[in-house]
Structure 1
Amino acid sequence: MFARGETVIQIMERLAPKHYAEPDDKIGLQVGTLRKEVSKVLVALDVTPEVVAEAAEIGAELIIAHHAVIYRPLAHLQTDTPAGSLAADLLRNDIAVYIAHTNLDSAEGGMNDWMAEALGLEGRNVLREAHTDKLYKLAVFVPESHQAKVRDALFAAGAGWIGNYSHCSFNVAGTGTFMPREGSDPYIGKQGKIESASEIRIETIVPQSVRKAVIAAMLKAHPYEEVAYDLYSMDLKGRSFGLGRVGKLPADESLDEFAERVKRAFDVPFVRVVGEGDKRIRKVAVLGGSGSRFIKNAMFAGADVLVTGDIDYHTAHDAAVAGLALVDPGHNAEKIMKRKVADWLQQHLDDQGYATQAVASRVNTEPFRLK
């Protein structure tokens, strides 16, 4: 059985919730419809004519990309323009396009964590905090016979985390009473008769990012026709998410040695470097995409070097004067997301029993070449 497009995106948004996105970022469904079965998903960094042709060739009904296909407002969709032609190709082949951009950048286990891992950084923290996951307390009343099944479903959906501890819950035994009325189909008892049942009140913590998934999993695992549960917000601070990561190398190395590490990590033929080659590097800030405006964040974090793309001339001078080294592998270094997202999606599609395939694009969308 193939997953419907809506289901694929529900799974994707468990990795990169939409509310993690920066204000006014162009994310979500941009072209086509999700109201269809999807046999293949193509994961791409950019949506170019070559990527659309690749999707059509392999029979993909959905492209999940990092960079928006519609970023600036379109005054028209004339098919003899690049934007219009691209949209026409997508619609002609019935290929939908969904964008996960800064929400994927900020997500735990997303773009910036993948880049930090590729560089071998340890003890990672967020470079610039942008979002703190709101916490909720969930209390649900479950018959004793199903308490383990419901708890397992809650934990599997992402509930029960307190700091570095998982599977956290509090369980209290009690007696529930109810009267099934006309039109009901009770799991326990008969219509018109007051019933009582030995139940367990399960309490656990639910982050906002997985709230919908947790509630859905609880309702599916619960045997009652009508589930009694409470969900209320808490003042406690949840996990922090944001753009960029800061961490340390296992051992210090020269800036020139570190530049070679960056080239290997992101499979790029060259990098631009600001700073003396023998400068010692240990603490590293990394931010996928264009990170010129994060120079001060890297300095405040005590980083020896910032790894990011699209560094402009004047920003490079400012960093040099401030003593912050820079390594620029280019914006296309974010291509690391193609295989990572495809593998993550495939695992979760498989876990849910879907035959849908997630495929990493083979198209190189780097627009620059060296002469």
Structure 2
Amino acid sequence: MQVTVKEMVELLEEMAPKALAENWDNVGLLWGRNDKHVHRILLALDMTAETVAQAIEYHADMLITHHPVIFRKLQQVTDAAWQQELLLRLAEHGIAAYSAHTNLDCVSGGVNDSLVKRLHIEDDDVLDTSNGLGRIGKVAPCTLADFATFVKKALKADYVVVGDAGRKVENVAVCGGAGSDLIQLALAQGADTLVTGDVKYHSAQEAVFSGLNIIDAGHQPTELPVLDDLADRLSLHFADRHWDINLKVAKESMLLKHI
């Protein structure tokens, strides 16, 4: 059965509605033609030279990313800027680009639920009920050092950074990507530990001195798990609809590494 980009977009927006995205975000079909037929899709966290090269080599018709391939207003599209040059490569190879960002963060089965699953968090619930971001639940009681080691291994992170508030780990809040804005909410919900990424020094101070352990496992490692889960969910939908589409998850190098 022939499937168009437009039909793929409709499926993706059933799974992660655009209405769930933050008002500052840019999600949806951001590059390409609605009427193009889709036979191969590459899933990636980011549009980078690495993932675009894989999409081209794979002969993908569509690149689906978590982070928007276009975020700020474009005044021109030339090869002078790296992101615009990548958009030109996609255009030259007829590859459409779709991005699901904060809507995939908060939706059920999205980024944060994938993080909960990888970290073996049980009895989880939404952390911020105003927008669906973050999750909170329970783990088997352990020391912060042991839990941080487990997080590093479970997320295949090159390193983690830990702020120790002197508390045993049992009630854990998570937010994939950058979730230090949720520190006070995590405390109010009874968390003893927050796992997220992109934690700044003063945010770490706020957490630790307020009595919250914090583990910065990196932006990429806390979000990458959703790609395999999304691939599995999409494959099931393709089978149910009798769509003949091949799907592949990109291999993405860690931007920040421990040396």
Q: Which runs of 5+ in 2 are unaligned?
A: none
In structure 2, the partner of 1:351 is: 240
**Which structure 1 residue ranges, 4+ long, deviate > 2 Å from structure 2?**
none
2 CA distance for matches of 1:114 and 1:84?
A: 31
In structure 1, the partner of 2:171 is: 283
State which of 252, 269, 274 in structure 1 corresponds to 2:163.
274
Residues 25-174 of structure 1: matches in 2 within 5 Å?
A: 25-131=25-131
CA contact (8 A) 1:343 1:358 kept: no
TM score, norm. by length of structure 2: 0.96
In structure 1, the partner of 2:150 is: 261
In structure 2, the partner of 1:248 is: 138
1:2–1:361 Cα change, 3 Å: farther
In structure 1, the partner of 2:185 is: 297
1 CA distance for matches of 2:192 and 2:84?
A: 45
Deviations 1:42-68 (A, max 9, x none): 110000011111011111110110001
Which residue identity does 1:246 align to in structure 2?
I
- Cα displacement (A) at 1:120: 0.8
Deviations 1:173-225 (A, max 9, x none): xxxxxxxxxxxxxxxxxxxxxxxxxxxxxxxxxxxxxxxxxxxxxxxxxxxxx
2 CA distance for matches of 1:76 and 1:129?
A: 39
Which residue identity does 1:332 align to in structure 2?
Q
In structure 2, the partner of 1:11 is: 11
CA contact (8 A) 1:342 1:359 kept: yes
CA contact (8 A) 1:15 1:110 kept: no
2 CA distance for matches of 1:19 and 1:78?
A: 31
1 CA distance for matches of 2:127 and 2:201?
A: 23
1 CA distance for matches of 2:199 and 2:56?
A: 35
State which of 308, 318, 324 in structure 1 corresponds to 2:212.
324
In structure 1, the partner of 2:249 is: 360
- Cα displacement (A) at 1:72: 1.6
Deviations 1:85-122 (A, max 9, x none): 11110100111110101111111111101101111111
CA contact (8 A) 2:41 2:61 kept: yes
- Cα displacement (A) at 1:80: 2.5
Which residue identity does 1:109 align to in structure 2?
G
Deviations 1:231-277 (A, max 9, x none): xxxxxxxxxxx00000001x20000011012112211121000005x
In structure 1, the partner of 2:229 is: 340
Structure (1 or 2) with the larger CA radius of gyration: 1
Task: Report how many aligned residue pairs link the two structures.
Answer: 258
- Cα displacement (A) at 1:78: 2.0
CA contact (8 A) 1:31 1:98 kept: yes
Greater fraction of residues in strand: 1
Which residue identity does 1:243 align to in structure 2?
L
2 CA distance for matches of 1:91 and 1:24?
A: 26
2 CA distance for matches of 1:8 and 1:261?
A: 37
CA contact (8 A) 1:126 1:246 kept: yes
Deviations 1:334-368 (A, max 9, x none): 1112211111111101111011112111232x211
TM score, norm. by length of structure 1: 0.68
- Cα displacement (A) at 1:18: 0.9
Identical positions, percent: 38
Structure 2 SS opposite 1:37: coil
2 CA distance for matches of 1:257 and 1:268?
A: 15
2 CA distance for matches of 1:367 and 1:247?
A: 29
Deviations 1:266-308 (A, max 9, x none): 11121000005x6311000000011121111111111000000
Residues 205-224 of structure 1: matches in 2 within 5 Å?
A: none
